[in-house]
Amino acid sequence: MRTAFYISDGTAITSEVFGHALLSLFPMEFDHQTISFVETPEKAEQAKAKINAVAKQSGEKPLVFHTFVNPQVRSIIDSCDGVIYNFLEHFVSPLENVLNAKAKPKAHRTHSIHENSYDYRIDAVNYALANDDGSNVTNYGEADIILVGVSRSGKTPTSLYLALQYGIKAANYPFTDDDMDELRLPDFLKSHKKKIFGLTIDAERLMDIRDNRRANSKYSSARQCRMELREVEKLYKKEKIPFVNSTKFSVEEITAKILAETGLRRHKY
């Protein structure tokens, strides 16, 4: 199995994002290793030694994705026994030409805290937690979006991801077994209908998720899962509520689809 290293003098998140995106194009398994905050020559030498040890043991050059700002640290990593992919170097020069300006590298800049963005995100996370699973329906006026769906269809992780990554205030409300006899939008949701977005999921996947939580119960039975999903999707179509099937998507992909569909924007960088 080929080893891929993601290294940076910061969090290495940028290296991971670019590297994973590229490697996902290849139907192969990789041993992913992240080394973050390589901020000194000493730490760079340690990282280099680790890369070289893997190269020697495996007989194959590891893939090394990095985004170093410090030229001294970068040169140490570049001298390792790996195949180097330096994302910043690849893109900076063309951008300098387009913008007619010189880049001014600064460590941690890509993931440092921007005060406005940070405040928005913390407020949004607090809002998502306070308005999770229908626990509070009195302040939906503050919501940017209200996610609805059956239990375990992905509402909570999606709400929190919208909050943490985008500063979007997302409430979520569950449709439960008690609602199914005559499923309709509650009055407190009707007045916020333009904010509502639905989630659904394949019945088999829902059964698996629920069975891990409450095995061999009515809640996780095939009949119950299929019935709830059928009724909820009928409601979405009747009320013209946009919705997405979360079965085969990560929370990042679900969020991207919601943003594309609703036109919601990230709150200030």
Three-state secondary structure readout of the chain:
CEEEEEECCCCCHHHHHHHHHHHCCCCCCEEEEEECCCCCHHHHHHHHHHHHHHHHHHCCCCEEEECCCCHHHHHHHHCCCCEEEEHHHHHHHHHHHHHCCCCCCCCCHHHCCCHHHHHHHHHHHHHHHHCHHHCCCCCHHHCCEEEEEECCCCHHHHHHHHHHHHCCCEEEEEECHHHHHHCCCCHHHHCCHHHEEEEECCHHHHHHHHHHHCCCCHHHCHHHHHHHHHHHHHHHHHHCCCEEECCCCCHHHHHHHHHHHHCCCCCCC
Q: What integer pLDDT is reported at residue 70 of this predicted model?
A: 84
How large is the average pLDDT for residues 153-177? 94
Please indicate, yes or no, whether residues 141 and 200 belong to a single structural domain of this protein.
yes
Which CATH number covers residue 83? 3.40.50
Please indicate, yes or no, whether residues 47 and 166 belong to a single structural domain of this protein.
no
Please indicate, yes or no, whether residues 147 and 51 belong to a single structural domain of this protein.
no
Among 68, 99, 130, which residue terminates a domain?
A: 99
152 annotated to a ligand binding site: yes
155 annotated to a ligand binding site: yes
Among 48, 65, 99, which residue terminates a domain?
A: 99
pLDDT above 70 (res 105): no
Among 64, 99, 134, which residue terminates a domain?
A: 99
56 annotated to a ligand binding site: no
221 annotated to a ligand binding site: no
Q: Which domain holds residue 10?
A: 2-99
Asked if residue 56 is part of any domain, the answer here is yes
237 annotated to a ligand binding site: no
263 annotated to a ligand binding site: no
Domain count, the chain: 2
Q: What integer pLDDT is reported at residue 269 of this predicted model?
A: 46
How large is the average pLDDT for residues 177-186? 93
How large is the average pLDDT for residues 29-50? 95
36 annotated to a ligand binding site: no
Please indicate, yes or no, whether residues 254 and 219 belong to a single structural domain of this protein.
yes
Total-model pTM:
0.69
Q: What integer pLDDT is reported at residue 106 of this predicted model?
A: 62
Please indicate, yes or no, whether residues 18 and 93 belong to a single structural domain of this protein.
yes
Q: What is the mean pLDDT of the chain?
A: 91
Lowest model confidence (mean pLDDT) among 4-18, 139-153, 244-258:
4-18
pLDDT above 80 (res 154): yes
Q: What integer pLDDT is reported at residue 104 of this predicted model?
A: 73
